[in-house]
Amino acid sequence: MAITINKTQSFSEISLNGIGKKFRSQWIFKNINTVFSKGDRIAVSGPNGSGKSTLLQLIAGYITPSEGTMQWKSESAAIASDQLFRHLTMAAPYLELIEEFTLEENINFFLQHKKFREQLNTSQFIERIELNAASSKPVKYFSSGMKQRMKLGMAILAQTDVLFLDEPLSNLDKQGYDWYRNLIQTIPSETIVFVGSNMVKDEAFFCTRELHIQDFK
């Protein structure tokens, strides 16, 4: 059984050993063997429906593998699966915001569980995602692009060891794309970043490794 470690201990790596996932009798991917170390930027690429999101959710600990083992490690111990949430943030189309809360209320709730880098407070964060005029507006009235800015901002600006971005340009216009590129530059060099994308040149332009999901069918 993995040992729970204190968040102050230094995060080290994620290892996948013979990882595979199937739904019923159909394999989505199998036999993935690799290690992700601090500072890695990984594009998980493949066509729609190929299993990119499934792999990201598996690495994040949201779902379990059908075969193989995965381990998150600090420099001195393994990290228990029920503690992974302390080390990661994720932005994805399928993750929901609290629709009845205003933007400010959503951010204040988020800050009960995570901290922002640069010691950003709620108002400073809202300025960084360029939604000042909507701070007191319920999120259910936001456009899809505004919601995506919220998700990306919370994930990227959080103080975390591992960042997952699944289809990060979803619902963003040209101005939003430029904002995303600038925000990416603020990610600390030691953070592991995964980007699930079928538009690698646009969404994962900063990645230095590429994991082709089709190679593991």
Hey, what domains does the chain have and what are their CATH numbers?
11-216 (3.40.50.300)
Among residues 141, 136, 122, 62, the alpha carbon closest in space to that of 94 is found at 62
Cα 125 to Cα 191: distance, rounded to the nearest angstrom? 20
Which pLDDT score is estimated for 9?
A: 53
Q: Give yes or no for residue 63 having a pLDDT over 90.
A: yes
Cα 126 to Cα 63: distance, rounded to the nearest angstrom? 31
> Angle 100-105-135 (CA atoms, 0-180°, nearest 5)?
95
How large a percentage of the chain has pLDDT more than 70?
95
Label residue 12 by pLDDT band (50, 70, 90). confident
Count of CB atoms situated within 10 Å of the CB of 23: 10
- DSSP conformational letter for 149: H
How large a percentage of the chain has pLDDT more than 90?
88
The alpha-carbon radius of gyration of the chain (Å, integer) is 17
* pTM for the structure as a whole: 0.93
Strand partners, 166: 196
Cα 61 to Cα 84: distance, rounded to the nearest angstrom? 7
Among residues 58, 53, 59, the alpha carbon closest in space to that of 35 is found at 59
Which of helix, strand or coil describes residue 107?
A: helix
Q: What is the mean pLDDT of the chain?
A: 93
Q: Give yes or no for residue 8 having a pLDDT over 70.
A: no
